[in-house]
Amino acid sequence: MEAVKDNLIFSLDAFPESGLSLDFVLAPSILSPFLQPDPDLGINAEIPDLVTSMRGHLDLRLTGKRLWVQGTFAVKTQMTCARCLTAFIGKVADNIDEVVELGAPSGLGAAEEPETFIPTKDGFFDLTPLMGELFWLSWPIRALCRPECAGLCPHCGANLNEGACECQKATITRH
């Protein structure tokens, strides 16, 4: 196994035939540029505030122009609870099992490139954009600060995690 790698840029010429197995750490400053939300894909969120570096493990196998990427990743980020709107630190983590095609850009533009395409430039390829895409695919649809989050009162907006609101007290008193 290779030592921890702080970037995901690889040389095609120096890529071992037996493949690579490595741990990686991507600092927020390296990963954040690849976390730009894409309104065309329905991602209208703000750029996430990463609290930790993305850490993970990758097993890479290259066959011709196809790269098989297997592994895991995890990163902590600032989130907002979908029920109570409280900010909290959440974890985005997932398994990776992707096959991508490597090659020089065709000049057709991003819309015409194959979906699983990673461009090469001067004999190098970078998996950081793939990690950004996998981050968004793993982002929770409804992030919760905790599974038993009580949310907000639909009448007065009070955070019910902090106790019963005046609306609930009045309802209990009337019954």
Determine the 3-state secondary structure of 77 from DSSP.
strand
pTM of the model: 0.80
Alpha-carbon gap, residue 123 to 108, rounded angstroms = 20
* Matching residue, tokens 């990463």: 50
Alpha-carbon gap, residue 175 to 173, rounded angstroms = 6
Per-residue confidence in pLDDT tens, the chain, 175 aa: 555 678 899 999 999 999 999 999 999 999 988 887 666 656 556 678 999 999 999 999 999 889 999 999 999 999 999 999 999 999 999 999 999 999 865 555 555 444 678 999 999 999 999 999 999 889 898 999 999 999 999 999 999 999 988 886 655 554 4
Using CA atoms, how far residue 161 sits from 89, 108, 149, 165, in Å, is 17, 52, 7, 10
